[in-house]
Amino acid sequence: MIKISVLGSTGSIGTQALEVIAEHPQLFSVEVLTACRNADLLINQARRFVPDTVVIADEQFYHKVSEALSSLPIKVYAGSEALEQVASYSSVDLVLVALVGYSGLIPTIRAIEAKRRIALANKETLVVAGKLVMSLAASHKVPIIPVDSEHSAIFQCLAGEYASIDKLYLTASGGPFLHTIVQDLAKVNRQQALAHPRWNMGAKITVDSATMMNKGFEVIEAHHLFGVAADKIEVLVHPQSIIHSMVQFDDGAIKAQLGEPDMRIPIQYSFTYPHRAKTSSPRIEWATYPTLSFMKPDANKFRCLVIAYEALRRGGNTPCVVNAANEVAVEAFLSDRIAFTDIARIIESVMERTSFIEEPSLDDCIASNIEAVRIASEIIQ
């Protein structure tokens, strides 16, 4: 029985993780559930799974949650400090980090320090402080198992391999604007950006997919997880999203991991690794996909992808700055305060206006995040 903490249980990954857990009650149990502010769903989940502890990060919902669960043997806490504390519970075997954005960083670090196995769905943790997080995990001998579908695919391709990697192919659906001409991008609205053709995800990551910043962050994530340089990671647009990513080895052989787009598979693999368990996920009907197609992403249209590569090449605190500027810009776009094409423009000017730190400490990352959020907010105003 694997005891699991689900950090971010009310989001897209969190709810699917609970479906996986519910499908295998003999394999998995829930020890901790945390949510940001979706108190109603958190209460329902807690009643169903009866974890040891629940945390609601937004303190104004504490009374609502604790009263609703008062008849059950569940500890209820509120606030971001409580979230960091439960991440280090020693009664837990595995911590699924499914928090959104920068907020995933400190809980992930606490879980690593407590030597808990990490299933990482929060790519921003590695974008913001990948070098620090990976070296901390190595020194504590903590495995970080990727949940992101592309990285899970690569991780699965590498299982049992001793060969060195010649190249990684990260596949991308291309998002809702794959066929939009670049001149029309400035006019696209929030509804259009949120209509992802292949994956059903939360709002922030869906906008990141539309700009392809999500893929850019995944390049940075892959760099840290697999120790591969930026120029050996190629993004390949593959609209069917059947090949989830590929590894090319030194002899030229390529391994790919395939399947219908279904996040429950990489989530479950991160729980069962190095084993597998049955799922009820839909199997591929190959005749439905007579053609699998591939193309290079359009660098003029997807500026954010170019920015992410540039951030990785510059290194230091640049990816952290880009992430912060992106979070502010995406939020502004989602509340109709800026145009879609302003997102890349804002990130670029924040990059030029923040101070560069070659080898950032954790405190430097925290300070860089604050500085970049401030500058991005000023630009938007």
Residues in the site for Mn ion, rule: CB under 5 A?
A: 148-150
CA distances from 285 to 33, 135, 260 (A): 36, 42, 9
Closer Cβ to Mn ion, 9 or 149, answer by number: 149
Closer Cβ to Mn ion, 52 or 148, answer by number: 148
Minimal distance in Å, beta carbon 334 to Mn ion? 20
- Residue 175 CB coordination number (10 Å): 25
DSSP conformation class of 282: P
Minimal distance in Å, beta carbon 150 to Mn ion? 5
Amino acid at 200: N
Closer Cβ to Mn ion, 5 or 149, answer by number: 149
Minimal distance in Å, beta carbon 218 to Mn ion? 6
Closer Cβ to Mn ion, 196 or 345, answer by number: 196
Minimal distance in Å, beta carbon 76 to Mn ion? 32
245: left (phi > 0), else alpha (psi -120 to 50), else beta? left
Which spans in 170-302 are helix H? 190-193, 203-211, 213-226, 264-272
The answer to whether 193 and 265 have CB atoms below 8 angstroms apart is no
Closer Cβ to Mn ion, 208 or 371, answer by number: 208
- Minimal CA–CA distance to 4: which of 36, 28, 34? 28
- Minimal CA–CA distance to 50: which of 11, 22, 26? 22
Closer Cβ to Mn ion, 150 or 371, answer by number: 150
The answer to whether 6 and 147 have CB atoms below 8 angstroms apart is no
Minimal distance in Å, beta carbon 37 to Mn ion? 24
Minimal distance in Å, beta carbon 310 to Mn ion? 20
DSSP 3-state of 260: coil
Tell me the residue nearest to Mn ion as measured from the CB: 148
Closer Cβ to Mn ion, 76 or 210, answer by number: 210
- Residue 167 CB coordination number (10 Å): 16
Residue owning tokens 């992802």: 196
Residue 21 in tokens: 């857990």
Minimal distance in Å, beta carbon 148 to Mn ion? 4
Minimal distance in Å, beta carbon 219 to Mn ion? 11
DSSP 3-state of 146: strand
Closer Cβ to Mn ion, 147 or 351, answer by number: 147
d(CA 374, CA 377): 5
Cα 320 to its chain centre, rounded Å, is 14
Instruction: Please measure the distance between the N-terminal and C-terminal CA atoms of the chain and give it in whole angstroms.
Output: 51
